[in-house]
Amino acid sequence: MTKTKTKTAMPPAPPWHFVLHGGCAETCPDPQRQREISEQLHRVAGLVAKALTEGAQARDAVTLAVSALEDSPIFNAGHGAALNRNGIHQLEAAIVDGASGRYAAVGGVQATKNPIAAANALLERGSHTMLVGSGADEAAREFGLETVPNSYFTTPFRRAYWHQVVEQGLPQLGSEMGTVGAIVLDSQGRLAAGGSTGGPTGKLDGRIGDTAILGAGLYADANLAVLCSGAGDQILENLIASSVAKYHAAGATLSDAARKALRAMTAPGASCSLVALDAHGKLVVESTARLFSVASASSSEAPTAQLHPTTFPVLASHEFYSDHQLSIGLSRYPVTRGHALVTIKSGKALFSLEASEFTNAMTQVSTAVSLLTDHYQVERCALASNGADRLSLLPLHGLTKDWQAITSDIKEFHDNFPGYVSSKDGPMMEASRLDDICSRIRRISGLSSSPDYTFQGAQDDKNLFACIVRGELQQWRIWEDANHVAFLTPFANTPGFTVLVPRKHLSSDIFSIQEPSFSDLMLAAHRVAGYLKATFGAERCGMIFEGFEIDYAHVKLIPIHPVDAEFQVSETEDLVVTVAPIQDTYQGYVSSLDGPLCRDQESLKQATVDIKKKHNSLRERSIVRPPRSWASPPHHLSSVLHDPWYKKLFLAQDVLFHVSSNYFQKGLGYRYCLVPATTDAVSSPMGLGSDSEPVPVRFLDQETHLADSMQFSLEYFLRIHDGLPGVYYVNTSFRGEDPDAMHLNQFYHIECELLGPFSDGIKVAEGYVMRLVSALLEEHADAVESVAGTCDHLTSILELYRSHGGRFPSVSVDDALNLPGMNQDCWKYVIPSDASKGRALTRAGELKLIEHFGGAVWLQEMDHLSVPFYQAFLDNSGTKARCADLLIGNGEVLGLGERHVQAEEVLSALKMHDVPAEGYAWYTEMREHKPILTTGWGMGIERFLAWVFQHNDIRDMTIVPRMKGYSFAP
């Protein structure tokens, strides 16, 4: 019998990750230099990947990577570094070990071949953290490192640039590409980061920048590492790297932390790029610069290198329009005066939007176009997009009021995507190729072999497109519907270039077309773009509006063809970045390219201010205001029937109810409870911690109360079926104090009680609020904007939630009271005469917290005597409650708490709050029967909708009011 040896499976090698960068720039290197940068980064990435595969440690791999980049003449570090004002190279480098927190740096180095090696040796063997000048070079010699004459660092490229800047006095066009750095996460889970630079050309003798300074240009700890490149003095001033770490530690995602830190870089031309890598291998690249050269790899992914475009296409100081979907602002890389960029906030590609989203976006773009044409006094604007998440709006200068054909003789053709789309004609395509392309698209679009040649206009209209619609000319029609026709142009600059026209002769100025024709044309464009994407296997489709070849409405749709393999260079992303020249007047074509950096950033800011002021003025005039008819009950009924405010409110109430039902029933499996309007046991009795005044009534000859909440009933219902995950209701509640801007006598609650602890309640409540906000944005953004003037508060809440890792920020009462600015107006004693009973926040304090935390915050761990008795104790001391208030808008919107499990705990709390126990005997008895752990919360519907409407008086948030001292019909 033969014995077979069983091989023991080897465990997989521990993962590693790294990222390299070759600096950022506002200028665009020539195509050859772009390729060289990518090739060098890719080459060094291969060296680092090999070393890490063989078990190299993080700090050693960083030193290897940065040394190799220093040895390349391409980068502004080591051999290839910039010269200072005196024509001397003074280099700096730093390294930080995240595992130990140790850091070392050298600056003003003039003879050490590899400054990063000197920094690493100083960290290992030196007695100081930083050395500069001749002392750093001398230490490097003592460490046995190679030294070279200062001329070694000079290259013809750097010398020529030094002559331009220093001797000829030409201005530097933004930051120079070339600072290098590396972050490594090794197989042991250790992070390290290091960087090296020659600094800016023409810098003063002795200048030290951000690259050498911990917290400014680099940072690493056990959780993440950050490297920066760009305007070093501003990066140093704002401590960008440590800011990323600070925001990340506070709960922001790595990407959001990076973006928040970069928003501090607002000075004109003060660009900054950064890479960040966390202990889980999550890589983030964010940049306010035009280009940022980066390479990365991991144990599971081969090295790639790429010139990253800016991730901040529009700076905050240049934005003049923002809604839940779009950000629109002036480009700092304009191809013409007034060039604006539209950014899709979700990051989706243009035609990856749902049809309704796309149409809504184009309607808002049309609003922005009207602002641009008014401000720059032009007849119309063109639109150009390569189909990604950006669109260019281009004021067409130099036009007359009367349409005249303006064309360009420049032709181009690309089988594959060159990095941009253009309206330039191509050479006439062979009919056989057009036939083939047309046939392929028609198989997808389903166009009949017997097209409809109906033209919705004068039959003697000789316009080219009118003739094509009527079928009078040879054409390659690919799709049609009752109102539109799409066909291939024989003068395409890429295969599949399509023209979409309406059957009616409408203006060639697309943005002047009235509704519903405009929206119909946009829906048709969305549909045809989908066919083009499907036919060519394209992820995107470009789009251009222009209109100066044919005076007839037409949309140009350009499939973005995948790049062929031979176009790639050693696995780098080799799409060469091209810069378009500035055009003072319209030249007969447009493209999606950016232009050079605008040198007059202040004029951009001022133009933004002026355009925004115009937009705000128009928006202000259109906002629906509340009629405040509750103050005049006899007129309230007619006001509700006719005033648009109440139409919007009715819609919002309907959305809230149906979203609630879907969320709880379909999403969570909760059951609905039918609860009475009266109760003998109010949930906020008169006692310590009561936050409302009961409403006593005589009903059927019995003394009882109108319910301030039926939360107790929810606790009861939850115990009917064992294992039921939760119960909920939407119902009327009552309170007895005088009504004011924050209180109503009759209001509406959405309340739920769920099986589980406090943390589960927080998760369910946050999910509910996010579902509501998303529904309002997705389905009723126009209605919200019509009353609030904006949807920014809704998108900001979504962003706040997402940036904190899918949760809202939280703070305990004690910590809140210690925050800056929380003065005596922000809190009060529960019992004014007895400080030992604890403190509670006032409305002023709640508003301070909302502002401090960016729009929403959970206030937790309240003093128990400041809340109702039914909230569970935080611990055995009994002084704090395991509860929370969600503060949004005007203050508390949602209250949440874990409940007492045992009857004894309820009795103890009743006694502590000075509430007679006999009225709550059934409440304690319920726990004797079924002592389960539950958490409940309730949200005031009027308070929530007041925030949605950005209104500060909830008396305007009810359609049929019931208020003390007033009588309303019905």
* pLDDT tens by residue, 351-389: 999 999 999 999 999 999 999 999 999 999 999 999 999
At 832 the pLDDT is 86
How does strand 130-132 pair with strand 103-109? parallel
Residue 357: Cβ-neighbour burial (10 angstroms; 0-12, 13-18, 19+): middle
At 566 the pLDDT is 31
CATH class of 17-309: alpha beta
Beta-bridged to residue 274, according to DSSP, are: 228, 286
Spatial distance between the Cα atoms of 77 and 66, rounded to a whole number of angstroms: 9
At 836 the pLDDT is 84
In a 13 Å sphere around the CA of 212, the CA atoms on its Cβ side amount to 27
Contacts of 633 by beta carbon, 8 Å cutoff, 6+ apart: 966, 967, 968, 969
Phi-psi region of 55 (alpha: psi -120 to 50; beta: other; left: phi over 0): left
At 7 the pLDDT is 47
| Residues designated catalytic | 179
In a 13 Å sphere around the CA of 874, the CA atoms on its Cβ side amount to 16
Averaged pLDDT for residues 862-886: 92
How does strand 555-559 pair with strand 484-488? unpaired
**pLDDT tens, position by position, 812-859:** 999 999 998 899 899 999 888 888 888 899 999 999 999 999 999 999
At 834 the pLDDT is 86
pTM beyond 0.85: no
Token pair listed for 226? 């950050």
pLDDT over 60 at 8, yes or no: no
At 565 the pLDDT is 31
Mean pLDDT of the chain: 92
Residue scoring higher pLDDT (402 or 63): 63
At 173 the pLDDT is 57
**pLDDT tens, position by position, 495-528:** 999 999 999 999 999 999 999 999 999 999 999 9
DSSP H helical ranges for 263-348? none
Element (DSSP H or E) covering residue 51: helix 31-53
- The answer to whether the CB of 649 falls within 8 A of the CB of 656 is no
Domain boundaries, the chain: 17-309, 316-567, 634-957
pLDDT over 90 at 252, yes or no: no
Averaged pLDDT for residues 922-944: 94
Spatial distance between the Cα atoms of 887 and 844, rounded to a whole number of angstroms: 12
Q: Where are the beta strands (DSSP E) in 819-890?
A: 827-831, 834-841, 856-860, 883-888
* Residue at token pair 């009078």: 472
Averaged pLDDT for residues 943-967: 94
Of the chain, the percentage scoring pLDDT greater than 90 comes to 79
At 186 the pLDDT is 97
* Domain 316-567 indexed as CATH 3.30.428.10: yes
Averaged pLDDT for residues 675-695: 76
- The answer to whether the CB of 221 falls within 8 A of the CB of 244 is no
Which fold, 634-957?
BirA Bifunctional Protein; domain 2 (3.30.930)
**pLDDT tens, position by position, 20-75:** 999 999 888 888 889 999 999 999 999 999 999 999 999 999 999 999 999 999 99
Averaged pLDDT for residues 562-567: 46
Q: Backbone phi, then psi, for 377, in 5-degree steps?
A: 55, 55
Residue scoring higher pLDDT (129 or 682): 129
**pLDDT tens, position by position, 606-621:** 999 999 999 888 887 8
Spatial distance between the Cα atoms of 526 and 515, rounded to a whole number of angstroms: 17
